[in-house]
Amino acid sequence: MVNKIKILVGYHKPALLLKDPNGIFQPIHLGRKCATESSKDGNITKEDWDWLNTNTIGDDSGENISDRNREYCELTGLYWAYKNYEKLGDPELFGFMHYRRHFIFSSSYILDKKPDFCNLVRTDSLNENYETEIGLDFLSEFPENSPIYVCSNTLKETPYDYHCKMSFIKREMYDKSLDILRTKYPEIILYLNKYLNGHTHYWSNMFVCRKQIFFELCEWLFPKLDSVYQKLNFSDCSIAQKRFIGYLAENLFGVFWMLKKAEGEKIVSKPISFVENTDLKKTVSIENFDTSEYKECVPIVYSVDKNYVKYLAVSMLSVVEHANRQKKYAFIILEEGLNSSDKKKLLNIVKDFKFAEIKFVDVKPYIVSLKKSFYKG
């Protein structure tokens, strides 16, 4: 038995951390080098940036491709681990999970739950016993000769057809990429076609395996992804469509696991727990506002969702236009579901008024907690 195992857990925004008494999980900030650029979740705030720098390592040190994160998604973290493995303690076993997607090693956890078509089990939030309930403590006694753990399942639809119908994948880009792979790497054509036209799907680019297998994966995978990346034009892609290399990698992961299986490796599929709410609870008080230049601070609290943004904007504009400029106006907005565009509109209202400042508080974590307390009661 060995305990030298490290599981990289990818983060791109603040979220609840897994309990880790055995030092197995290493949170990593994916795309730190391009974190100030707009992503699928909007723009990062200074508060979020500070949290990520405090609680995670970055994928931007040593040899890295952190600046490709908008196209490569979580693979920038895997590349960092591949090229900077000693910084993880040179573990004998290695794996990757996402901040809200975790392997379920406990069979009892899914007895009364039905995984969806991606082999995901929906979980409300992280409770006190979550890690034990899904069996993550199994990792602390992971055997050295353990099989390779992945997430897969069988669908009627082929992987090729599934990816073609996804709204955020451009069909012409997908077909061009496959042509590039077949031309430059003819030795994989048999298994590539077998995977694309088969019915087994591999999801989320997640795995746990021996160090040797991880290095074989990276040495096999990244040159192929780079060959495609260099020949694609992402300039006319939406933010979602830019993430294409990450989706293409799911196909190549499937091919690689098929090759390993043909070589005699044991591949075991495990379902994934998808945590619906991983948001951190935030508190905001007058102390969070800079009031040093003002005689008095006036806190103004709003509660709003995206349906009432325009009404909130009118109210805030009225306040700042008729305000006493000797006072600080602290707008505290309790919100649920506001996107980056909504927040930007509200921030623009006060940007020319030095005496006014906005803090947003996502109330969803509190609502989830209240619901759980209510139903328990």
Residue with tokens 């069996």: 135
Predicted model pTM: 0.79
| Residue 305 shares a structural domain with residue 244 | no
Total structural domains in the chain? Answer: 2
Predicted confidence at residue 289, as pLDDT, reads 72
Predicted confidence at residue 180, as pLDDT, reads 98
Residue with tokens 């791109």: 12
- Given a contact cutoff of 8 angstroms between Cβ atoms, the answer to whether 140 and 3 are in contact is yes
**Domain assignment of residue 242, given as a range:** 5-277
| Residue 74 shares a structural domain with residue 99 | yes
| Residue 218 shares a structural domain with residue 344 | no
| Residue 78 shares a structural domain with residue 194 | yes
- Given a contact cutoff of 8 angstroms between Cβ atoms, the answer to whether 319 and 290 are in contact is no
Predicted confidence at residue 376, as pLDDT, reads 47
The structure tokens listed for 353 are: 């008024």
Predicted confidence at residue 373, as pLDDT, reads 47
Predicted confidence at residue 309, as pLDDT, reads 92
Predicted confidence at residue 80, as pLDDT, reads 98
| Residue 43 shares a structural domain with residue 117 | yes
CATH number at residue 344: 3.30.750
Predicted confidence at residue 338, as pLDDT, reads 86
Separation of alpha carbons 252 and 246, rounded Å: 10
Residues 326-346 pLDDT 10s: 889 989 898 888 887 888 889
- Given a contact cutoff of 8 angstroms between Cβ atoms, the answer to whether 82 and 114 are in contact is no
Question: What's the distance, CA 7 to chain centroid?
Answer: 15
| Residue 169 shares a structural domain with residue 212 | yes
Residues 283-342 pLDDT 10s: 666 566 777 777 788 999 999 998 999 999 999 999 999 999 888 998 989 888 888 788
Q: Which residues of the chain have pLDDT under 50?
A: 1-2, 373-377
Predicted confidence at residue 36, as pLDDT, reads 83
